[in-house]
Amino acid sequence: MTRFGRVVAAGCLALAAVAASACTPTDVQRTVPSAVAPTPGPSSRPAATGLWHPDGAPGTLAQGLASPWSVVAVDGGALLSQRDDGAILELAPTGRVRTVGAVPGVVSGGESGLHGLAVLVDGPESWLYAYHGAQDDNRVVRMPLRGQPGARTIGDVEVVFSGIPRANTHNGGRLAFGPDGYLYVATGDARDTDSAQDPHALGGKILRLTPDGEAAPGNPFDGPVWSLGHRNVQGLAWTADGTLWASEFGQDTWDELNRIEAGGNYGWPVVEGPDDREGMIGPVAWWPTDEASPSGIAAIGDTVFIAGLRGERLWVVDTAGGELAGEPFAVLAGEQGRLRDVVAAPDGALWILTSNTDGRGDPRPEDDLLLQLRVTPAT
């Protein structure tokens, strides 16, 4: 596989204990409202520019999900992960949802399990990447992605990168291929706070790898680490100007949206939230933890969208040149419960995963959902 394959989608997922081999595809939901079935379209589209804001109420693309963690667009449909059973689901262009298989070797527990997903198309080959908790560590694996939309299968698993520290909480988990063709991996400090400041440790970092799992050329610390001083990053996205953004869980006071620079030190555990400490980079935006607990993020044009778990809302952050271009505002506050992931769909909408069945929020009667939210240019 060449280093710079064509990246068509990236995202994250968290899942738990899984079967030791791929399971037989089965339907998990037989009906989807046709008015909001996924819009067929090309696997890529011209990049949006400018600022974009939500327009209207969300529609439901899929329901009956259990602890979903990540969604990634593929050929007019989507692949989704479920944290606690390790399953990979497919939302076909027709609206049908089926189980593709399970990622072998996933060991769930606490906040660990199957996390981020990313898809890489390299010539005739397609690969599904996944971040998951194993028995003693967190790791990145990949599997061949085969078949046509509505009939996807996954092949044998290959370990791409291992040895990322694992704990009951603070496991990170997001994967995303960047504009440079390299794989970015968000890790947590795994409750070893001091390791976040060690440029040679893997916890509390954003890593930058080749698709084969080697340290990408040009990394600042002669290894896989791209940035350090993170507590628990679960969101990665690039705005149209090429800026990398990351969402980060704070401890007791402030959650953060950070502009990521090569070799940047984002302060944890020395600093939480805004601070002008020499040699450390403060967040561009921050919120009290009960208003955010940010997980997945997406970017359309120069607007960043942040899914809030405890905050139960979607934050909208307009940017320009890596800085705020207006006051952040929230939509969907309290309407859908906890939000785990948000991604930019090929048709220009946002896809949003809820997270109300993972035992972390108040019990709710409904299963988790995949929602679609339209956006329009900001005026």
Cα(65)–Cα(43) distance, integer angstroms: 24
Q: Which of 132, 170, 200, 230 is catalytic?
A: 170
Q: How many CB atoms neighbour CB 81 within 10 A?
A: 35
Cα(371)–Cα(353) distance, integer angstroms: 6
Tokens of 142: 């990949």
Cα-Cα-Cα-Cα torsion 88, 208, 299, 242, nearest 10 degrees, comes to -150
SS3 102: strand
SS3 195: helix
| 170 is annotated as an active-site residue | yes
Residue type, 208: R
**Cα dist from 367 to 6, 18, 297, 313, 337, whole Å:** 35, 20, 22, 18, 11
For the chain, the first-to-last Cα distance in angstroms comes to 43
Q: Is 308 exposed, middle or buried (0-12, 13-18, 19+ CB in 10 A)?
A: buried
Q: 320 with 301: CB under 8 angstroms?
A: no
Cα(116)–Cα(128) distance, integer angstroms: 10
Task: Please name the residue that has the structure tokens 């939309």.
Answer: 149
**Cα dist from 23 to 20, 26, 147, 319, 347, whole Å:** 9, 9, 15, 43, 30
Task: Please name the residue that has the structure tokens 């090929």.
Answer: 346
Q: Are strands 375-377 and 323-324 parallel, antiparallel or unpaired?
A: unpaired
Residue type, 187: T
Write down the number of H helices and E strands in the chain.
0, 30
User: Which sequence positions are flagged as catalytic?
Assistant: 170
